């Protein structure tokens, strides 16, 4: 793994950026910016990426965590979006099999629901065709009895049947991190916690770089082209450039809640109707089930959009309407998250009606902006931007990312069990607890894939007592974590999916950061306070 992604090397590499002129500067370290950095670097462009918070800290860690084609967009006759994002599922799975997992999805057909039997058959048939779905993964239309057998908790008085098809579950933040790491391996220079404060212009008023600040200094970085891929912050940068047009962002908020599967257990992911005309997901994952999402207008604080009691009640009522025996209550919720969709505003349309298409804006100063889009289509969005930049540079190199295996993704599904078995054999003499070893190897593999072997090598080399210590060391050296939240939210997902152990692990993570970085005790103590507040916010709603 390229060591330029370590915490220490980021600090030393930052001031050296002033000596270079990059082909492309990318602002924004979410999945779109990460994808652009990878595409451009793989075509031989010199690339630098800046993210003002942690990588994936915005929308790219707060989605429904699905790589899916968007069946509902067929209702809007958005066939191109369904085709493009549908076909991208197979690409994402092939390139990152450790974090893009095939999952069966059940679509209950109910009286006066969004889809009748005929429209479900038509919709899923078109879906299979547009997305190029493999034969063994194509849809099945089920009768009522078959649906109840699959999911007995479903309400039966309005149930008429169901559609059964394949989608893919992912970890959006980890996908972003793996794309970033792969971009770095291709030569891109990527920095988190670096804020672009202003643009640099030549005498003709054309952008020629950015003024950027990290924790210790502010520098000027020159670039032939600059891309704004900042999601919800897009319009703020366009305004700074003086290029904000009448076509602006329309932010909508999506909330998810998490409950133990002892309270709400599902055999498959379910995409079901909500009274009022929308549909939401209930998605089983390990020992939990998460439910989402809402879709409401949003126009306040961007960094940490809140989860309100109204948001929570909407989701609880939706579940209890379709699964009456579950009787979900607020006290069952163990965590929640809220994210913002940076959509392109369409006058007169409700949030759920606004297209999820991406759009590119080019200003007179040369700034390139991309907004809109879906997680699943990130690679195609990156291709569009990189094609545009390459055209400006007269670079005729074609996109290669369809065939680039992402960091951690080198173990094909056929070899996964053998790889995990080998890691288990290596780790067992160290921990001497078979259940602990099995659980830890599986957990680590589902986060880091093939890079799990590096974590275990670190544990052996440094004579560490726990896999957690080795994991934190790995994240500092190879994933540039700088805060406790970086680890607990975006590297491991524990804040959302395993919050019960966080308080016990905070001190260990703090000590690892103290030992292997220059972060002060006072700063780390402040980070612990912030993380505790975030943990509290995930279960307290107003």
HSE-up of residue 224 (Cα within 13 Å, Cβ side)? 14
| φ, ψ (nearest 5 deg) of residue 163 | -105, 140
* Terminal C-alpha separation, the chain: 45
148 membership: H or E segment, kind and range: helix 144-150
Query: 32, 27, 59, 52: which is closest to 341 by C-alpha?
Result: 59
Concatenated DSSP letters for 199-265?
Answer: EEE-TTS-EEEEEEE-SS-EEEEEEEEEEE--GGGHHHHHHHTT---SS-EEEEEEEEEEEETTTS-
Among the ranges given (319-323, 397-401, 412-416, 494-498), the one the predictor scored with the smallest mean pLDDT: 412-416
402-428 per-position pLDDT tens digit: 999 999 999 988 899 999 999 999 999
Integer Cα distance of 272 and 202 in angstroms: 54
pLDDT in tens, 284-337: 999 999 999 999 999 998 999 999 999 999 999 999 999 999 999 999 999 999
Determine the number of helices (DSSP H) and then strands (DSSP E) in the chain: 17, 18
Rounded Cα gap, residues 100 and 209, in angstroms: 36
The pTM score is 0.95
Q: What tokens does 85 get?
A: 């994002």
Among 295, 283, 339, residue whose Cα is nearest residue 61: 339
Average of pLDDT values for 139-156? 95
The Cα–Cα gap between 204 and 535 comes to 50
Q: Which CATH superfamily includes the segment(s) 103-168+249-349? A: D-Amino Acid Oxidase, subunit A, domain 2 (3.30.9.10)
pLDDT of residue 351: 79
Q: What is the pLDDT of residue 253?
A: 97
For domain 413-537, give the CATH superfamily.
Alpha-glycerophosphate oxidase, cap domain (1.10.8.870)
Residues 220 and 215: their CA atoms lie apart, in Å, by 15
Token pair of 371 as six digits: 């907004």
- CATH code: domain 3-59+173-247+355-403 is 3.50.50.60
String of DSSP letters for 523-538: HHHHHHHHHHHHHHHT
Neighbours of 261 (CB within 10 A): 13
260-293: pLDDT as tens digits: 999 999 999 999 999 888 999 999 999 999 999 9
Q: Please say whether the beta carbons of 34 and 176 come within 8 A.
A: yes
Domain boundaries, the chain: 3-59+173-247+355-403, 103-168+249-349, 413-537
Q: Which residues pair with 417 in a beta bridge?
A: none
**Two tokens at 178?**
């793996």
Q: Is the pLDDT of residue 2 over 50?
A: no
The least confident of 103-112, 127-136, 271-280, 398-407 is 127-136
Q: What is the pLDDT of residue 387?
A: 98
The conformation of residue 122, written as its DSSP 8-state character, comes to H
Q: Would strands 140-143 and 189-191 be described as parallel, antiparallel, or unpaired?
A: unpaired
Predicted pLDDT of residue 3: 44
pLDDT band at 6 (very low <50, low <70, confident <90, very high): confident
Give me the pLDDT at residue 120, please.
83
219 vs 447: CA distance, rounded Å: 34
Q: 3-class DSSP state for residue 197? A: strand
The residues, any chain, with a CB within 8 Å of residue 26's CB and separated by 6 or more, are 33, 36, 37, 40, 47, 48, 49, 50, 227, 229
Q: CA-to-CA distance for 420 and 449, rounded, in angstroms?
A: 10
- Residue-wise pLDDT for 75-106, tens only, equals 666 777 777 777 888 899 999 999 999 899 99
* DSSP result, 379-390: HHHHHHHHHHHH
CB 78 within 8 A of CB 127: no
Phi, psi of 193 (to 5 degrees): 50, 45
């Amino acid at each position: 793994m390229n060591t330029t992604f370590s915490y220490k090397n980021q600090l030393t590499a930052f001031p050296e950026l002033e000596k270079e002129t990059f082909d492309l500067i990318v602002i924004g370290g979410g999945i779109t910016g990460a994808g652009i950095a990878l595409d451009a670097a793989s075509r031989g462009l010199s690339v630098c990426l800046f993210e003002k918070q942690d990588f994936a800290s915005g929308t790219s860690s707060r989605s429904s965590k699905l790589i899916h084609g968007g069946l509902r967009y067929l209702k809007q006759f958005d066939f191109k979006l369904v085709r493009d994002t549908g076909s991208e599922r197979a690409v994402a799975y092939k390139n990152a099999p450790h974090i893009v997992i095939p999952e069966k999805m059940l679509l209950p057909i109910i009286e006066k629901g969004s889809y009748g039997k005929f429209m479900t058959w038509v919709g899923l048939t078109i879906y299979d065709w547009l997305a190029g779905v493999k034969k063994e993964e194509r849809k099945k239309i089920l009768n009522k009895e078959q649906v109840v057998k699959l999911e007995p908790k479903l309400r039966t008085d309005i149930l008429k049947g169901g559609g059964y098809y394949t989608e893919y579950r992912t970890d959006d933040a980890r996908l972003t991190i793996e794309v970033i790491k792969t971009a770095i391996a291709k030569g891109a220079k990527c920095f988190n916690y670096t804020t672009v404060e202003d643009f640099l212009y030549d005498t003709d008023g054309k952008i020629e770089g950015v003024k950027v600040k990290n924790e210790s200094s502010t520098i000027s970085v020159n670039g032939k082209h600059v891309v704004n891929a900042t999601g919800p912050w897009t319009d703020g940068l366009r305004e700074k450039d003086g290029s904000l047009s009448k076509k602006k962002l329309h932010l909508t908020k999506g909330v998810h809640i998490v409950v133990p599967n002892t309270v709400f257990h599902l055999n498959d992911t379910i995409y079901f109707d909500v009274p009022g005309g929308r549909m939401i997901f209930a998605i089983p994952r390990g020992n939990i089930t998460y439910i989402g999402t809402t879709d409401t207008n949003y126009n306040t604080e961007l960094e940490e959009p809140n989860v309100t009691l109204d948001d929570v009640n909407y989701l609880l009522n939706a579940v209890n309407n379709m699964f009456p025996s579950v009787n979900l209550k607020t006290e069952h919720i163990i965590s929640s998250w809220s994210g913002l969709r940076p959509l392109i505003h369409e006058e007169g349309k409700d949030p759920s009606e606004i297209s999820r298409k991406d759009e590119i804006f080019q200003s007179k100063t040369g700034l390139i902006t991309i907004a809109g889009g879906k997680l699943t289509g990130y690679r195609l969005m990156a291709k569009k931007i990189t094609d545009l930049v390459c055209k400006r540079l007269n670079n005729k190199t074609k996109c290669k990312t369809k065939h680039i295996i992402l960091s951690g993704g080198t173990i094909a599904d056929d070899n996964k069990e053998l790889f995990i078995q080998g890691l288990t054999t290596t780790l067992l003499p160290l921990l001497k607890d078979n259940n602990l070893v099995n659980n830890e190897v599986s957990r680590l593999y589902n986060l880091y894939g093939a890079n799990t072997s590096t974590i275990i090598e670190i544990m052996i080399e440094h004579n560490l007592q726990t896999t957690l210590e080795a994991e934190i060391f790995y994240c500092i050296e190879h994933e540039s974590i700088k805060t406790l939240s970086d680890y607990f939210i975006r590297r491991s997902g524990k804040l959302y999916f395993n919050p019960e152990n966080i308080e016990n692990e905070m001190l260990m993570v703090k000590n690892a950061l103290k030992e292997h970085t220059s972060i002060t005790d006072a700063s780390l103590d402040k980070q612990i306070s912030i993380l505790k507040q975030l943990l509290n916010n995930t279960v307290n709603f107003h």
